[in-house]
Amino acid sequence: MVQVSRHDIVIVGGGGAGLRAAIAAAEANPDLSIALVSKVYPMRSHTVSAEGGAAAIARDDDNEELHGFDTVKGSDFLGDQDVIEYFVENAPRELALLENWGCPWSRNEDGSVSTRAFGGMSTKRTWYATDKVGFHMLHALFQHSLRFDNIVRYDEFFVTKLLVEDGRCQGVAALEIRTGEFHAILGRSVILATGGAGKIFPFTTNGTIKTGDGMALAYQAGVALKDMEFVQYHPTGLPGTGILITEAARGEGGYLRNNKDERFLVDYDYGVGDKAELGPRDMVSRAIIQEFEAGRGFEGRYGKYCVVDLRHLGEKHIDAKLPFVRELAKIYIGVDPVHEYIPIRPVVHYMMGGVDTDINAATELPGLFAAGEVACASLNGANRLGSNSLTECLVFGAVAGRNAIEFAQGAGEGNSSALVSQAEEEAARVEALRGNGRGNEKIAGLRHEMNSTMEAGCGVYRMQESMQIAATETRSIRKRAADLHLKDSSRVFNTEIVSALELQNMVELAEVLAVSAAHRKESRGAHTCRDYPTRDDQSFLYHTLAHRTDDGPRLGRKEVKLGHWEPQERKY
Amino acid sequence: MAESKKMLRVEISRFDPDRDEVPKTQEYEIPVQDDWKVLDAINYIKDEVDPSISHRWSCRMAVCGSCGMMLNGEPKLTCKTPLSDYDETIKIEPLANFPIVRDLVVDMDGFMDKFRKVKPWIVRAKARAEDMEDLNEKGTFSQSPDQLATFKQFSMCINCLLCYAACPVIANEPEFIGPAAIALGHRYNLDSRDEGQAERNSIFRGEGTVFSCSFANECSEVCPKNVDPAAAVNQAKLAAVVDWAKGLVLPREGA
């Protein structure tokens, strides 16, 4: 038996983008009902872990041309310039709204909002609340959302399928984790805001919930994933755990050093010019790997590492601007950055790719919208600039919320019985998995195999051969993931079945990622091939699209929206 | 990571409402690594030994607030607590003072209701940002670093519920709104952008809120983020009384 509920729009995901979409929709029309469905309580969403800041023009020395060009250049000219222009224009308004809603932005003496420097940004335009920006933004959004009676939350519901009928998306099928019951949550439009998929990789800043569920839902519904080969390695994660040491550590003046105590971004030519530690993430991550290869890395129990040096900033400045960095370093690696170096290595942080969306946050499937990391609006192209993504959640979350409402108001109720019977079929599929007691594959074992395959094939530096191997292996892992062995047959809060469904989502995406990567025979942004070391605009200045088939992704192309910024060599 | 592994006995509280009348304890003997947190041990058991254990976790960096549990009887964030704090045996139970859903997972519904009750948002006479007065040309309120500092500490709560598990009042009076909710309401009362003090103080003067607190200070002792909810409760209590007294003198401003 499937429980049926009906709303005007259904939002999947309760992090920065999902909450912003919900608030935009709730404000647009208080008479409409908005379902906010999330596999965790909204304040647990991974937005909470973002540290350094959110970008938007704030100072007199800044303007839209500068923020726009920084973003285009950071994207290695794969960003869509219409989206980038819209983004930089609307970013300040969105961050000001967050201020109005209570976000405790750090302040200047005159009471205005303070900004800090960030990688690849030509001036101080990163708004911050010390170094817990995602935490404060998420809590401000969630708390503000509580004032709207027309936002109806489904906390700890795991969405397993998009319900599509008459060629449009009209709801979701979801497992209520606490009871084990299945639901058809119907709406006249649906927004995906489920975040990225860092857990495909072994070393990531991402929390365990970042399993790419929304990307997989869209892909399985026939919607294209775009530019999935572009994976951002953050230069500074803690070895072992992958816990993020924010780029703000460098924004506030921290240095990166090798085992010779050199500031290698200054002493060697890595193309970042006088930006030094404030170079863009893709370039700084490559520099660290090259330091390792040149024998200038430290050796530790989790492999090679370099270090962040904050000592010269002094205790007072560190405590004022980077208290969380100090706390994390002490707890998770046992060093106090006031006196000691913080060991770091590049670690998977963010997916530039995702569900193919446009400037309206719309997908190719009518009634389906997406925003935040799950989406690829092509704001970030081949490499995202630090602090653009929190703002992206707000700008395009709001766009998605407004456009989903508009779509819903123009759409009919649809055929409920057809939708419910789809949900019933889905319930039966998922139920067959619960405690199945057969199957030959262990969840954790297959997850480790997927992780090491992706690390070997789709790391910071890639080779044609290693990507091909990853593509072949991930295809086999995807097929094997249909044969999982589950032992927990209980109904209530069965996290084994959730892990199984998450893994099935991730293996689909791992394959798309590897296949997309293998096809792009050039180096652009975060996608760096040793055997094709230069950017090739002649052959590859386009977005990669991937549509699902049972035999693996079918690749296609989408034009990059150029504008007044002509592609040029990317040098800092 | 080839060094020899220490063995640890982990006792985990198990409960499935479909099968059990009361929670029971299950023991696991596992190899552990010296840099593990308690959460790593639970995840090891879930991955390698017994996949039927249910627990909540996500960020593993002490900011999402999911993984609070009782460790040898004390409420702790498992992702922050080193395993090396425990010799030979550790007992892991769900947070005290909450109904148990399953194994290490507790029912948060009551907390979520209490949380919303204190109106944890900026209250303005004109609620829409478009209509707010006193905004500068950039569309933001002016707030000095000193004004920010008055409430910043109370905005650091990650809703991990450890303070509820430690609170002796909640243990006897489950409807008590509790430390985190009071700290949050007080956080907005102290925010220079907010105009909701009268509304919240009137909530605070109601039953089961600030005046139920017995000053045990347990909440502040277990808080993993140094929010000091006990200080918030004290301050909120005083503010609620002062506000009420002002109401007697100046009836129009009272609650």
Please give the Cα distance from A487 to A111 (Å, whole number): 57
Pick among A62, A331, A443 to test the B interface (most B CBs inside 10 A): A331
For residues A227 and A252, membership in a common domain is answered with no
Name the token pair of A82. Answer: 């219409």
Residues of B in contact with A101 (CB under 8 A): 121-122, 129
Please tell me the predicted confidence (pLDDT) of residue A459.
Answer: 97
In a domain, A545, yes or no: no
Which residues lie closer than 8 Å to A201 by C-beta, 6 or more apart?
Answer: A231, A348, A451, A454, A455
CATH number of B109-253: 1.10.1060.10
Q: Does A59 touch chain B (CB under 8 A)?
A: no
For residues A194 and A255, membership in a common domain is answered with no
Whether A498 and A177 have beta carbons less than 8 Å apart is answered as yes
Q: Which residue among the candidates A250, A257, A281, A548 is catalytic per the annotation?
A: A250
Q: Which residues pair with A257 in a beta bridge?
A: A307
Please tell me the predicted confidence (pLDDT) of residue A202.
Answer: 96
Q: Does A178 touch chain B (CB under 8 A)?
A: yes
Q: Does A110 touch chain B (CB under 8 A)?
A: yes
For residues A272 and A286, membership in a common domain is answered with yes
Please give the Cα distance from A152 to A376 (Å, whole number): 27
For residues A213 and A302, membership in a common domain is answered with no
Q: Does A521 touch chain B (CB under 8 A)?
A: no
Residues of A in contact with B188 (CB under 8 A): 102
For residues A360 and A339, membership in a common domain is answered with no
Residues of B in contact with A494 (CB under 8 A): 54
* CB–CB contacts below 8 A, A to B: 165
Instruction: Flag if A112 and B142 touch (Cβ within 8 Å).
Output: yes
For residues A464 and A501, membership in a common domain is answered with yes
Q: Is A252 helix (H, G, I), strand (E, B) or coil?
A: coil
Please tell me the predicted confidence (pLDDT) of residue B251.
Answer: 55
In a domain, A512, yes or no: yes
The nearest CA of chain B is from the CA of A371 a distance in Å of 21
Residue A240: which of B35, B46, B112 has the nearest Cβ?
B35
Residues of A in contact with B66 (CB under 8 A): 40, 44
Whether B156 and B227 have beta carbons less than 8 Å apart is answered as yes
Which residues lie closer than 8 Å to A432 by C-beta, 6 or more apart?
Answer: none
Number of Cβ within 10 Å of residue A48's Cβ equals 28
Please give the Cα distance from B162 to B81 (Å, whole number): 13
Residues of A in contact with B223 (CB under 8 A): none
For residues A98 and A139, membership in a common domain is answered with yes
Please tell me the predicted confidence (pLDDT) of residue B126.
Answer: 80
For residues A99 and A188, membership in a common domain is answered with yes
Pick among A105, A133, A135 to test the B interface (most B CBs inside 10 A): A135
DSSP A379-416: SSTTSPPTTHHHHHHHHHHHHHHHHHHHHHHTS----H
The superfamily in CATH containing domain B6-106 is Beta-grasp domain (3.10.20.30)
Residues of chain B with CATH 3.10.20.30: 6-106
Last residue within a domain, chosen from A347, A371, A387:
A347
The nearest CA of chain A is from the CA of B47 a distance in Å of 6
For residues A468 and A385, membership in a common domain is answered with no
Host H or E run for residue A448: helix A443-457
Please give the Cα distance from A224 to A353 (Å, whole number): 11
Residue B58: which of A46, A111, A136 has the nearest Cβ?
A46
State the total domains in chain A: 3
ipTM of this complex = 0.97
Last residue within a domain, chosen from A347, A373, A401:
A347
Please tell me the predicted confidence (pLDDT) of residue B3.
Answer: 53
Whether A174 and A159 have beta carbons less than 8 Å apart is answered as yes
CATH number of domain containing A476? 1.20.58.100
Low-confidence ranges of chain B (pLDDT < 50): 1-2, 253-255
Please tell me the predicted confidence (pLDDT) of residue B247.
Answer: 74
Which residues lie closer than 8 Å to A333 by C-beta, 6 or more apart?
Answer: A238, A239, A240, A342, A343
Q: Which residue among the candidates A7, A125, A168, A234 is catalytic per the annotation?
A: A234
Please give the Cα distance from A306 to B67 (Å, whole number): 31
Q: Which residue range is the domain that position A307 belongs to? A: 234-347
In a domain, A544, yes or no: no
User: Which burial class, exposed, middle or buried, applies to A51 when counting CB atoms under 10 A from its CB (0-12, 13-18, 19+)?
Assistant: buried
Last residue within a domain, chosen from A366, A399, A421:
A421
For residues A99 and A210, membership in a common domain is answered with yes
Instruction: Flag if A40 and B194 touch (Cβ within 8 Å).
Output: no
Residue B1: which of A111, A301, A494 has the nearest Cβ?
A301
Among B13, B21, B62, smallest CA distance to B39 is for B62
Pick among B37, B52, B101 to test the A interface (most A CBs inside 10 A): B52
Residue B102: which of A113, A241, A493 has the nearest Cβ?
A493
For residues A323 and A335, membership in a common domain is answered with yes
Residues of B in contact with A154 (CB under 8 A): none
pLDDT 10s per residue in chain A (572 long)?
A: 899 999 999 999 999 999 999 999 999 999 999 999 999 999 999 999 999 999 999 999 999 999 999 999 999 999 999 999 999 999 999 999 999 999 999 999 999 999 999 999 999 999 999 999 999 999 999 999 999 999 999 999 999 999 999 999 999 999 999 999 999 999 999 999 999 999 999 999 999 999 999 999 999 999 999 999 999 999 999 999 999 999 999 999 999 999 999 999 999 999 999 999 999 999 999 999 999 999 999 999 999 999 999 999 999 999 999 999 999 999 999 999 999 999 999 999 999 999 999 999 999 999 999 999 999 999 999 999 999 999 999 999 999 999 999 999 999 888 899 999 999 999 999 999 999 999 999 999 999 999 999 999 999 999 999 999 999 999 999 999 999 999 999 999 999 999 999 999 999 999 999 999 999 999 999 999 999 999 999 999 999 999 999 999 999 999 999 999 999 999 99
Q: Does A46 touch chain B (CB under 8 A)?
A: yes
Please give the Cα distance from B130 to B121 (Å, whole number): 16
In a domain, A571, yes or no: no
For residues A265 and A327, membership in a common domain is answered with yes
Residues of chain B with CATH 1.10.1060.10: 109-253
Contacts by B227-232 with C-beta closer than 8 Å and gap 24+?
Answer: B227/B153, B227/B154, B227/B156, B227/B157, B227/B180, B227/B183, B228/B153, B228/B154, B228/B183, B229/B154, B229/B157, B229/B163, B229/B179, B229/B180, B229/B182, B229/B183, B230/B179, B232/B154, B232/B179, B232/B182, B232/B183, B232/B186, B232/B187
Q: Which residues pair with A546 in a beta bridge?
A: A225, A555
Name the token pair of A402. Answer: 């407004």
CATH number of domain containing A359? 3.50.50.60
